[in-house]
A = this chain, B = another copy of it.
């Protein structure tokens, strides 16, 4: 199969300044969305052209991605996009479960009305997306919903750690085709989560969140394994 056909001239020369964050974000998005194919070498020259930068800032960004675990730098042999393996995904969910529990335990004590309102709003959006059958929109809404829950704890370390895991998981989410049945079950979990949150029941909320994470993880794993075996 051929290259992903990235058009080299999609961005104008780009104004000088500090484009760090932008370059990192762009690259990470490309990895997450599967535009940079797992297992393949990162096309340095093309990305430079694509982003309108030289190799220096690109390599700086690749170093950061490597530290985050999205790519691997093999000395003198180029950079490769690390593949998603089911074992690693299961491990990510295991850690995420522990954090979800912590979120549930902290949230009722610390959440304020604004945060609760935002969570309610995001929950509504996700439900609307599900009812409309808009998978892509649901994925984004679901992600935002859980991030908002984490944010409600007012713990930056927790948020950052949680987001890091979510991003890695998001990569797999893009790679697997979500099942409509799964969406409905996920939404049912969300309804229960909201009920516990409104009731301020920390322990129950913690259990719900942990369980929800486990369910999601198991479903994704099954689907990923199914797709992998189907490819052979």
Contact = CB atoms under 8 A, between A and B. Distances in A.
Given A63-B63, A64-B63, A99-B98, A92 B165 contact: no
Interface stretch (A66-74, A182-190, A220-228): A66-74
A101 interface: yes
A131 interface: no
Chain A, interface SS category: helix
A108 to B, nearest CB: 15
A75 B17 contact: yes
A76 interface: yes
A229 to B, nearest CB: 23
A64 B71 CA distance: 13
B94 A102 contact: yes
A9 interface: no
Contacts of A20: 63, 73, 75
A46 to B, nearest CB: 20
B158 A91 contact: yes
Contact of A88 (B17, B56, B94, B156): B156
Contact size range, A? 35 or more
A177 interface: no
A95 B59 contact: no
A92 B63 CA distance: 25
A111 to B, nearest CB: 16
A161 interface: yes
A56 B94 CA distance: 38
A1 interface: no
Interface of A: 17-18, 20, 24, 56, 59-61, 63-64, 67-69, 73, 75-76, 88, 91-92, 94-95, 97-99, 101-102, 106, 155-158, 160-161, 164-165, 168
